[in-house]
């Protein structure tokens, strides 16, 4: 059982790293895409990069993160996880990260249709959100402050 737990935990960490990489990189692509002329070859390159990142890396990584995280929570439920305040804060942050993921997909569709109306400053600020959520999640999981 301990071996299975460690394999599951490893898979969770790997999938979270892949998901976070996408959450960090996609808004940065949007920063540069925003300044590309609509309909240009450069804009088309960004569209391809964004689509592949979102559909080939981010969605599977998010799904794997949720699957392995839920499995870990279930395995640890005997230890009073549901009564731990830190676990609920972490869940809220992961839900927020998932909402950000969906929001980035909405922006991706806007760029695909050449209908983006947001500035590069907006995307630079949006690029900071995953970092803040990651810090909160790591603090909850490692320090377990309450």
Give me the residue spans of the domains in the chain: 2-143
Predicted model pTM: 0.93
Crossing angle of helices 85-112 and 2-35, rounded to 10°? 40
Q: Where are the alpha helices (DSSP H) in 1-84?
A: 2-35, 41-52, 59-76
Region of residue 36 (left: phi > 0; alpha: psi -120 to 50; beta: else): beta
* Among the listed residues 94, 100, 54, the one whose alpha carbon sits nearest the alpha carbon of residue 70: 94
- State the first-to-last Cα distance of the chain, in angstroms, to the nearest integer: 28
- Are 41 and 104 contacting, i.e. CB atoms less than 8 angstroms apart? no
Contact status, residue 65 vs residue 19, Cβ threshold 8 Å: yes
| Residue-level pLDDT, tens digit, the chain, 146 residues | 678 899 999 999 999 999 999 999 999 999 999 999 999 999 999 999 999 999 999 999 999 999 999 999 998 887 777 788 999 999 999 999 999 999 999 999 999 999 999 999 999 999 999 999 999 999 999 999 99
114 in Cβ contact with 47 (< 8 Å): no
Phi and psi at residue 127, to the nearest 5°: -65, -20
């Amino acid at each position: 059982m301990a071996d299975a737990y460690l394999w599951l935990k490893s898979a969770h960490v790997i999938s979270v790293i892949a998901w976070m990489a996408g959450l960090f990189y996609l808004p940065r692509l949007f920063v540069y895409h925003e300044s590309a002329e609509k309909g240009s070859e450069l804009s088309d390159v960004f569209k391809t990069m964004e689509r592949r990142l979102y559909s080939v890396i981010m969605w599977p990584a998010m799904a794997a993160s949720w699957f392995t995280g839920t499995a870990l929570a279930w395995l640890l439920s005997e230890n009073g996880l549901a009564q731990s305040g830190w676990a609920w804060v972490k869940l809220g942050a992961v839900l927020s990260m998932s909402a950000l993921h969906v929001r980035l997909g909405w922006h991706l569709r806007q760029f695909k249709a050449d209908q983006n109306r947001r500035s590069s400053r907006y995307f630079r600020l949006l690029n900071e959100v995953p970092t803040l959520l990651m810090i909160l999640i790591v603090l909850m999981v490692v320090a377990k402050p309450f």
